[in-house]
């Protein structure tokens, strides 16, 4: 039997999520979570049967149609119509690894017992996760306001036998999936469609994926930056602990310490230097990388709070006999940090590209473009162009989404977060940063060969040796896009 993660009140951490995803855990509800879901649903059913008082989204219309009362006999079809009518996504399909995270995070949110869903509905979402069923969801269509309405509608369509999914590499209709797996379509009860569609799980899934990769990219930026520093014959003094103790920014201190550790034992860093000062892209690494680290730490705190909370509407409180229509679905708490994360990662790419530029510039006794015979060979001239293009595109992606708002739903939803746009942009910044750092690693690895027979530190030499198995030293010009693709793959998979 495989490993099982039991959904409960225990908060999910980034490490938990990586363990669940990377090691193919199955999901199951803990007994306490089952009890809360059942209790909330029973309370809601009793409330609907015993009262005709209008409660938003349960026996009323949605959005600006909140003042339309719905007869009890139509409450189920109301929820089904909601899911069908809101599935208006467009653009690129959301990657299956993000959809898998959406399923996990949606189950976690519903399991707190404040959403009023049926136990069978939550268990069907768990079935999707466990069987590798990934509904077809589209990137565009969410304002990040009443949650991620359109994307979550696509996530929910297969529950009622509609929409499309990927299952074992095959694209199937929701109906065909039910037939293949022997599932009966879910018959929604009052509020269920709203509970499924209201929520921040698209923004959260993209954000969690980006954070997991951001922490890896931060480590990679430091490691590759350390190789570049040695390859450029840079100075270690700007990384001295005393410098950073008198400006005690946490990220800055962390980065300086990391560089001292990475370069411990390097023959290059300790040799006498001809120059008294390095360019900012080397000398100010602790300040620049450190600022990005501080941003990543902040965003991490926000997202861990978000994924361990309830983000649908209205919120049901059985013990207090209350159903409260409020705004926990609003994406503003995520939109601002997502924009911030994009900027932090783009800056890691911006300073990386500058180090690449310095290494190929013919400075510090290095040959132009890092080839022994420049002229007949262009060497690493053009990979820097590519890095510059990617760094520039990342800057454009960093135009903040969170400062925008477009009125929707006839004025009822008059301020929206645009957090979903911030989330999809951050995803693109992350992928571009892998490519930028890949170019720097190719460049730094090439440059350090011109420092031989001196060696860098043991850790960095080991990493370079592993990298050379994928991307050999460049003697003469060759097709470099293949090297760049191999470098990107190496960075995504190397054990740090």
Tell me whether residue 188 is one of the annotated catalytic residues.
no
Tell me whether residue 215 is one of the annotated catalytic residues.
no
Show the tokens assigned to 427.
């995803």
DSSP-based three-state secondary structure for 173: strand
Burial of 438 (0-12, 13-18, 19+ CB in 10 A): buried
How many angstroms separate the most distant Cα atoms in the chain? 87
* List 43, 56, 239, 340, catalytic entry: 56
DSSP-based three-state secondary structure for 323: strand
DSSP-based three-state secondary structure for 90: strand
Tell me whether residue 198 is one of the annotated catalytic residues.
yes
Tell me whether residue 329 is one of the annotated catalytic residues.
yes
Closest CA to 75 of 113, 45, 50, 41: 45
Tell me whether residue 280 is one of the annotated catalytic residues.
yes
* List 5, 25, 62, 86, catalytic entry: 86
Report d(CA 396, CA 399) in Å as an integer. Answer: 6
Report d(CA 371, CA 359) in Å as an integer. Answer: 12
Report d(CA 252, CA 241) in Å as an integer. Answer: 10
Residues 6+ apart with CB under 8 A from 133: 127, 158, 165, 166, 167, 177, 181
Q: Interior CA angle at 379 toward 492 and 462, to 5°?
A: 40
DSSP string covering 219-267: HHHHHHHHHHHHHTT--SGGG-HHHHHTS--HHHHHHHHHHHHHTTT-T
ω into 453 cis (within 30 of 0): yes
Tell me whether residue 247 is one of the annotated catalytic residues.
no
Closest CA to 419 of 216, 141, 157: 141
CA distances from 386 to 381, 382, 393, 408, 482 (A): 10, 7, 11, 40, 13
Report d(CA 175, CA 188) in Å as an integer. Answer: 16
User: Do 23 and 3 touch, CB atoms closer than 8 A?
Assistant: yes
* List 167, 329, 397, 427, catalytic entry: 329
Report d(CA 493, CA 486) in Å as an integer. Answer: 11
* List 80, 139, 413, 440, catalytic entry: 413
Report d(CA 288, CA 348) in Å as an integer. Answer: 8
Taking each helix axis from N to C end, the angle separating 149-156 and 96-110, rounded to the nearest 10 degrees, works out to 90
Tell me whether residue 364 is one of the annotated catalytic residues.
no
* List 59, 123, 178, 198, catalytic entry: 198
* List 10, 267, 280, 482, catalytic entry: 280
Query: What residues are labeled active site?
Result: 56, 86, 198, 280, 283, 329, 413
């Amino acid at each position: 039997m495989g490993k099982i993660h039991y959904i409960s009140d225990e908060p999910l951490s980034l490490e938990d999520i990586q363990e669940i995803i990377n090691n193919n855990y199955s999901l199951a509800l803990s007994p306490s979570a089952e009890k809360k879901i059942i209790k909330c649903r029973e309370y809601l059913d009793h409330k609907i049967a015993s009262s005709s008082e209008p409660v938003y989204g349960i026996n009323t219309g949605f959005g600006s149609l909140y003042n339309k009362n719905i007869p009890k006999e139509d409450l189920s079809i109301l929820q089904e119509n909601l899911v069908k009518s809101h599935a208006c996504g467009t653009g690129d399909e959301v990657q299956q690894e993000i959809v898998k995270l959406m399923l996990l995070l949606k189950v976690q949110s519903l399991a707190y017992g404040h959403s009023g869903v049926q136990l069978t509905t939550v268990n069907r979402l768990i079935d999707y996760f466990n069987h590798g069923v990934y509904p077809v969801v589209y990137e565009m269509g969410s304002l990040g306001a009443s949650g991620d309405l359109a994307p979550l509608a696509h996530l929910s369509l297969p529950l009622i036998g509609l929409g499309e999914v990927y299952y074992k590499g095959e694209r199937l209709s929701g109906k065909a999936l039910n037939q293949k797996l022997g599932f009966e379509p879910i018959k929604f009860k009052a509020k269920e469609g709203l509970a499924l569609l209201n929520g921040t799980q698209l923004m959260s899934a993209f954000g969690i994926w980006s954070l997991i990769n951001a922490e890896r990219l931060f480590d990679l930026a430091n490691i590759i930056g350390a190789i570049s520093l040695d390859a450029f014959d840079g100075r270690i003094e700007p990384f001295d602990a005393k410098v950073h103790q008198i400006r005690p920014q946490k990220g800055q201190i962390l980065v300086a310490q990391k560089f001292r550790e990475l370069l411990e034992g390097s023959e290059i860093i300790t040799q006498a230097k001809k120059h008294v000062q390095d360019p900012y892209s080397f000398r100010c690494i602790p300040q620049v990388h450190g600022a990005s680290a501080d941003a990543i730490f902040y965003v991490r705190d926000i997202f861990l709070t978000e994924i361990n909370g309830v983000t649908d509407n209205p919120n049901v409180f059985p013990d207090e006999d209350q159903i409260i229509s409020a705004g926990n679905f609003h994406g503003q708490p995520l939109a601002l940090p997502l924009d911030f994360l994009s900027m932090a990662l783009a800056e890691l790419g911006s300073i990386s590209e500058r180090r690449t530029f310095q290494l190929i510039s013919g400075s510090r006794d290095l040959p132009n473009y890092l080839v022994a015979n420049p002229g007949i060979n262009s060497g690493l001239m053009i990979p820097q162009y590519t890095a510059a293009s990617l760094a520039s595109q990342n800057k454009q992606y960093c135009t903040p989404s969170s400062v925008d708002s477009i009125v929707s739903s006839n004025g009822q939803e008059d301020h929206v977060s645009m957090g979903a746009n911030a989330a999809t942009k951050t995803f693109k910044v992350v992928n571009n940063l892998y490519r930028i750092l890949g170019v720097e690693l190719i460049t730094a690895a090439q440059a350090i060969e011109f420092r031989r027979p001196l060696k860098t530190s043991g850790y960095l030499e080991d990493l370079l040796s592993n990298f050379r198995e994928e991307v050999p030293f460049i003697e003469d010009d060759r097709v470099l896009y293949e090297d760049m693709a191999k470098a990107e793959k190496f960075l995504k998979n190397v054990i740090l």
